[in-house]
Chain A
């Protein structure tokens, strides 16, 4: 579904992604883990079209989207729930969700949108309860649900999520991850960036480990979870090993 070849991107003088190649198959959930500044967010932003690649190719459903404008990428079915949620805080929850379906509304698919809205409300009941409340008044976890819900409203084939657990209460992280697992079970393809490597690997089929803009490891979630280097650096198991 998504195939990235030798991608390079960055900000100004800064070269962040140094030749990334990866792929995501249909129906698969793929996690990207790595430390701060490894280039995980930059990768998602580049795929979504917020940043332009310096070189390399991004193929989405056999279509080259490396230089397509953002609107076209969303329309093609590739949608990002950005880091830090970025909900429209001065607008109501429902308005936020409807804007997620912006391109579909423009194409006049109002019946589909109503059913998508119902689906999102089913996934996140709290959003229906708070439909007419300003998004800025929601808690961090609820805003994260809204950000995911808004991305779902675009009717994506590939849902990209950037740090869905960041700044969210632990109890809600669990429920958000359960919902993501449900979405996966329903057949949605997911590309997930997380610092919370444990949660990400528990959900994903496969994973890539980023270090300073390069992929240093890849494999199935189990392989990565068993890898001592990953355990030490990202799963915080160092101390237990010393104890043993």
Chain B
């Protein structure tokens, strides 16, 4: 492999990886406030993209994406209020099964609304064939959009959780639910908010990748599995580790594809998931210290 080829594969890997990371962050936000894995996370991406594609017939692209993100955010909130909140004293397993049910429901609803046709948003800048040349490699400008938006999402979430009252309250709920309630934090509203936030950033991610990967009603499940792999790989609940794990998995997949058949790509990520679950269940960047602190 020469340099331009390496650069090319790197970009491909990092692009895919950053999307995995965003799906994983969606998982983490909800996991942190509720302790459950929301398997409908992948569907939020597809709903977001589909809505934007439909709106784009009537309004310009940025407006369409904005509307799609807002509506998906609301859908995320409704999902929590209608399906999760009603279940009193539910075990984690029951809630997880409910989220699987929600994902099937959303998928079938999308099949009815948008049929099985493969659609996509137009490229944000340029067209499908325009490229930017970096170090001899030809990169689609959309790839740069994906990277940029992912970076903005990740960098926006950090100050949100660190410095805003709501972000801190969400972390407090994740840390110690009862203490958060004793501080007067409405924990149920925080859970709703975490679903809205996950749905919102999911929708935004779905829109940015749509031109590259296309969008079809049933693509959410495979995205969710990859995002889940990455979330486990980084250590559940740790969003910064999810970014590192996502980029790593993306790069591994890209270079596996460059050397072997495309079919091995999926196998590699599942093998990584299995290895991690067997040998380092707390994740690569396992937060053992924090876990130990929580046990105190």
The finding on whether chains A and B are genuine partners in a shared complex, rather than unrelated, reads yes
- Once the chains bind, are A50 and B293 in contact (CB under 8 Å)? no
Q: How far is the CA of A89 from the CA of B175 in the complex (A)?
A: 7
The residues of A that contact B265 with a CB separation of less than 8 Å are none
Contacts of A28 in B (CB 8 A): none
Q: What does the 1/0 interface line of B169-210 toward A look like (CB < 8 Å)? A: 101101110111111111000000000000000000000000
A90 in contact with B293 (CB, 8 Å):
yes
- Taken together as a complex, chains A and B put the C-alpha atoms of A184 and B175 apart, in Å, by 31
- Interface contact tally, CB-CB below 8 A: 76
Q: Which residue of A lies closest to B287 (CB)?
A: A90
CB distance from B106 to the nearest CB of A (A): 31
What's the Cα separation between A191 and B112 when bound, in Å? 60
Residue A102 at the chain B interface, CB threshold 8 Å = yes
B296 close to A (CB within 8 Å): yes
A82-B178, A105-B165, A106-B165 are known contacts. Are A88 and B171 too (CB-CB below 8 A)? yes
Contact B172 A86 (CB under 8 A): no
Chain A positions within 8 Å of B168 at CB level: 91, 95, 98-99
Separation of A105 and B172 alpha carbons in the complex (Å)? 15
Give 1 or 0 for each of A183-215: 1 = CB within 8 Å of chain B CB. Answer: 000000000000000000000000000000000
Contact B179 A102 (CB under 8 A): no
Picked from B169, B290, B293, B294, the residue with its CB within 8 Å of the CB of A99 is B169
Query: If the complex has contacts A90-B294, A91-B168, A105-B165, are A80 and B182 also in contact, measured as CB distance less than 8 A?
Result: yes
Q: Are B183 and A89 in contact (CB under 8 A)?
A: no
Contacts of B296 in A (CB 8 A): 89, 136
- In which size bucket is the chain A interface? 20 to 34
Within 8 A of B (CB), among A92-137: 95, 98-100, 102-103, 105-106, 134, 136-137
Contact between A91 and B175, CB atoms less than 8 A apart: yes
B181 touches A91 (CB 8 A): no
* A71 engages B179 (CB within 8 Å): no
Q: Mark A124-155, 1 if CB is under 8 A from B, else 0.
A: 00000000001011000000000000110010
| Residues of B close to A95: CB separation below 8 A | 168
Chain A residues closer than 8 Å to B185, beta-carbon distance:
71, 99, 102
Which residues from A are CB-within-8-Å of B176? 86-89
Q: Which residues of B contact A99 (CB under 8 A)?
A: 168-169, 172, 180, 183, 185
The one of A87, A98, A106 in contact with B179, judged by C-beta atoms closer than 8 angstroms, is: A87
Within 8 A of B (CB), among A2-19: none
Task: Report the Cα distance A154→B178, complex, angstroms.
Answer: 16
For the complex with contacts A74-B182, A86-B182, 8 further pairs of A-B residues with Cβ separation under 8 Å are: A70-B186, A74-B183, A88-B180, A89-B176, A89-B294, A90-B294, A100-B183, A105-B165
Chain B interface (Cβ within 8 Å of chain A)?
A: 165, 168-169, 171-172, 174-176, 178-186, 290, 293-294, 296
- Listed by A's residue number, 28 A-B pairs whose Cβ atoms lie within 8 Å are A48-B182, A50-B181, A69-B186, A70-B181, A71-B185, A80-B182, A82-B179, A82-B182, A86-B178, A87-B179, A88-B171, A88-B179, A89-B176, A89-B293, A89-B294, A89-B296, A90-B174, A90-B175, A91-B168, A91-B172, A95-B168, A98-B168, A99-B172, A102-B169, A102-B183, A134-B293, A150-B183, A154-B184
User: Interface of A with B (CB < 8 Å)?
Assistant: 48, 50, 69-71, 74-75, 79-80, 82, 86-91, 95, 98-100, 102-103, 105-106, 134, 136-137, 150-151, 154
